Amino acid sequence: MSIMANLPKYLVIAVTVGSVIVIVSKMTKSNKPDVSVAVNVPALSKEAVQGQQLFDDNCSACHGKSAAGSDKGPPLIHKIYEPNHHGDGAFQMAAKRGARAHHWKFGNMPAQPQVKPNEVAAIVRYVRELQRANGIY
């Protein structure tokens, strides 16, 4: 029997195997990208050191060590979060009200009511010092 006679059979097998591969790939692949970045950590001011501790306690689970990002949240040491695009007030609002996903595919950020405005200010100081040390003004 020639290959041509068995072509429909082989085609069905190929399509079936290909479909299974696609389905398994989609089931095991996370929708949330890991976009972590390398971060140069400078000597920090006293205020930024306080912010670092607050960041580690409240933000790093999603935004990663040194705000480098993770598979749960974006890096804050990124041009998107430079002061001219996301001012300090944006961080205050995100902590208070949460933030709608609009730059990344991590989903919405929930409000962080446990972090008080003065603590967010210290966290922002820490993030801004990290940003400057990494060429983000």
Structure tokens at 14: 């190929």
At 101-123, the pLDDT tens digits run 999 999 999 999 999 999 999 99
The verdict on pTM exceeding 0.85 is: no
Asked whether 124 and 45 are in contact (CB, 8 A), the reply is no
Please tell me the predicted confidence (pLDDT) of residue 84: 95
At 45-101, the pLDDT tens digits run 999 999 999 999 999 999 999 999 999 999 999 999 999 999 999 999 999 999 999
Is pLDDT at 30 greater than 70 in this prediction? no
Structure tokens at 37: 């970045």
Asked whether 131 and 42 are in contact (CB, 8 A), the reply is no
Domain 46-133 fold:
Cytochrome Bc1 Complex; Chain D, domain 2 (1.10.760)
At 1-17, the pLDDT tens digits run 566 666 677 667 767 76
The number of beta carbons lying within 10 Å of the beta carbon of residue 23 is 10
Is pLDDT at 18 greater than 70 in this prediction? no
CA distance 73 to 104: 8
